[in-house]
Structure 1
């Protein structure tokens, strides 16, 4: 099963499509949203789907790459996300940042700015590759780097440069005034080819005995809440 190369209503999805499924599920389960910002919208597939399926009064997009092909009422800032953006925007009820954190030079700076544009009590949904998975540990054993990183990750994924394990994103978020409400994920299952399955049979007993966190999460998806104080 391939998880890449999918589209929504003809708009290419530039990530594992299952991440979009989870983001939509999370937002649909919550209350209606006044203003939402989709950061690093790509072609705009997620923003279009949120507009169609979720109760959102207004969707803005950050199209820093200049490649969005959707038509929304408002399109806000397009500057480099490594720069300051927290002082130039209004405050949002929800912000979605899917598969962008690993592309940035400084996730601490990014989350501080993201927190600044959220209303107190507002929601942020952020996804990033999970480098703690069994698959990633196997990949390090064979190649020397986690599954979504290394030169292949840089070339094939438009520049994966920053790994943020679970413990670290929680630390960064706390420092930025964000509280982790929930974490969900998509599984590594589709990425296990024959060789990796055979190797996993050999190494799983060792991992099960010594590994601190045993999981098959390919990509972590976090729901954060902006602290009110």
Structure 2
């Protein structure tokens, strides 16, 4: 007789995040080469596609989400916790070797508390893999110039009917994410894009080169003040729809 969860193990779940995000994250996970049995936290868990992949890779997986009904049927070895990610995570200090958070932080009312808790439960030398919409690429910068906003208005009625976290409540620029990583002991290892947006490169390439040249004319102090080296990098300036961040806990402060 099949054990509970065997069906999910033979038929992988479709990811809620776009497939290109999962493909890039899986490549980064292979680069990390975590040992078998390493402890990994996936939050928000969602339906559990990433948690399932991590479990298949031989890792010990925990998942946390406010809505656990969507992940019913996951293999029982994936330990699930019902958690409001705006609050305290029910895990010990320095417990996890890796925390994965895909397309979640922008849905939270309190991203500051979220990354504070992620920093607490991640062990020194452990890793964080985080993805969020890239609102600093050229396309989104021009959209902001036209609309005066990075995202649509969310009415009080929609908020009341659908609840906290149903939409992008807190889209964050790279500088905001960067400072939260730094405040909570994470050093940046790399920035990555989910995909190349060829039309953006074709039509906005000259503007990107102009901004890059302008940045090079700034003083060192000004470049450091606005993290210019990173905000003018290809994954940010010419990035796809999503920015993927790889960081490490407690190995010195990034520059």
Q: Please report the TM-score for the alignment, with normalisation by the length of structure 2.
A: 0.71
CA RMSD of aligned residues (A): 2.8
Q: Taking structure 1 as reference, are residues 207 and 223 closer, same or farther at Cα in structure 2, changes over 3 Å only?
A: closer
For structure 1, the residue ranges without an aligned partner over 5 or more in a row are: 1-7
Q: Following superposition of structure 1 onto structure 2, how do residues 80-229 of structure 1 map, counting pairs within 5 Å?
A: 80-85=84-89, 88-90=90-92, 91-146=95-150, 149-151=151-153, 158-187=166-195, 189=197, 201=203, 205-206=206-207, 208-210=209-211, 213=232, 214-227=237-250
In structure 2, how many angstroms separate the alpha carbons of the residues matched to 1:164 and 1:102? 7
Equivalence for 1:15: 17
Q: Taking structure 1 as reference, are residues 171 and 113 closer, same or farther at Cα in structure 2, changes over 3 Å only?
A: same
Q: Which has more radius of gyration?
A: 2
In structure 2, how many angstroms separate the alpha carbons of the residues matched to 1:46 and 1:83? 22
* Structure with the larger strand share: 1
Q: Is the 8 A contact 2:187 2:251 kept in 1?
A: no
Q: Is the 8 A contact 1:135 1:188 kept in 2?
A: no
How far residue 141 of structure 1 moved from its aligned partner, in angstroms, is 3.8
* Structure with the larger helix share: 2
Equivalence for 2:51: 47
For structure 2, the residue ranges without an aligned partner over 5 or more in a row are: 1-9, 160-164, 216-231
Q: Is the 8 A contact 1:130 1:219 kept in 2?
A: yes
In structure 1, how many angstroms separate the alpha carbons of the residues matched to 2:149 and 2:18? 20
How far residue 142 of structure 1 moved from its aligned partner, in angstroms, is 4.2
